[in-house]
Copies of this chain bind each other. A is one copy, B any other.
Amino acid sequence: MAFSEFRPLDEKSLIEYIKAVPALYSKLGNNLDDLKVQEVGDGNLNFVYIVVAPGGSFVIKQALPYIRCIGESWPMTKERAYFEAVALKEQGRLSPEHVPEVYHFDRTMSLIGMRYLEPPHIILRKGFIAGIEYPLLAEHMSEFMAKTLYFTSLLYRSTTEHKRDVAEFCGNVELCRHTAQVVFSDPYKVSQYNRWTSPHLDRDAEAVREDNVLKLEVAELKSKFCERAQAFIHGDLHTGSVMVTRESTQVIDPEFAFYGPMGFDIGAFVGNLILAFFAQDGHADQVNDRKVCPLF
């Protein structure tokens, strides 16, 4: 079964699709007996299926032409799957131990087949909320960031390679615009999709909206985000884009990747660590009082 046009898959048509694609079918030992397909709809943007058979496993991620968690009212190019596939391959080449392998990419179907990060891998944010410590996390994430940022910057590459890839990822403009809006614009004004714990944080949200010095600083950062093609950045490197066990750290979901300022990745990740640290109190219970929890 080959598709000449984009078609959203469901659990049934997905099985037909797998059967027609040797790169996927062979990962299951060419045998669909006792196949289990599970849609894990906790993503914000895409449909994600976990496919497990006795002979093997993988994950299928399909992008639809809108943001899943908001609906068709916020359209978003399904070409983001193309940029995600290129990013996964490039980051995987530079930091293979911390990026899941891509088995298959279908541009027409906006579909990526990649390694299933089996249990006990969980999303890092959930691990932090559960109070789990990750002794290797700092080393792994430093390695991922150092390798993917340094080796795609002009500190390492020729201007020819650099400008070629900058040009290609200029095509990911829709997702960059989304980031610019939700990171550098919306939080500082009244905006439809803003959310905070109300009424407890109403005054804090208002204080942010009225801080003109802060807004000038943020405008400066926004212009760097839009203009400075320093290195190939992940673009969405928060604790929801990392899956972990105590031994393994895997960076996923680079659909927002483009050539931008290194500080955007580094700052987003460190900022999320700080948020997780200060949220520990709120997750304390009798089993784990979180008083001596370094986390990372």
Contact = CB atoms under 8 A, between A and B. Distances in A.
A45 to B, nearest CB: 19
Interface in A65-111: none
A294 to B, nearest CB: 36
A228 interface: yes
A173 interface: yes
Contact of A159 (B154, B164, B226): B226
Most buried by B among A162, A163, A230: A163
Contact of A163 (B160, B164, B176): B176
B176 A159 contact: yes
Nearest to A161: B173
Contacts of A154: 223, 226-227
Interface in A122-162: 154, 159-160, 162
A170 interface: yes
User: Does more than half of chain A's interface fall in helix, strand or loop, or is it mixed?
Assistant: helix
A230 B220 CA distance: 12
A166 interface: yes
A37 interface: no
A64 interface: no
B227 A228 contact: yes
A159 B171 contact: no
Contacts of A164: 170, 173
Contacts of A114: none
19 contacts: A154-B227, A159-B173, A159-B176, A159-B180, A159-B226, A162-B226, A163-B173, A163-B176, A164-B170, A164-B173, A166-B166, A167-B170, A167-B171, A170-B170, A223-B230, A227-B228, A227-B229, A227-B230, A228-B229
Q: Which 4 pairs between the two chains have the least Cβ-Cβ distance?
A: A167-B170, A163-B170, A167-B167, A163-B173
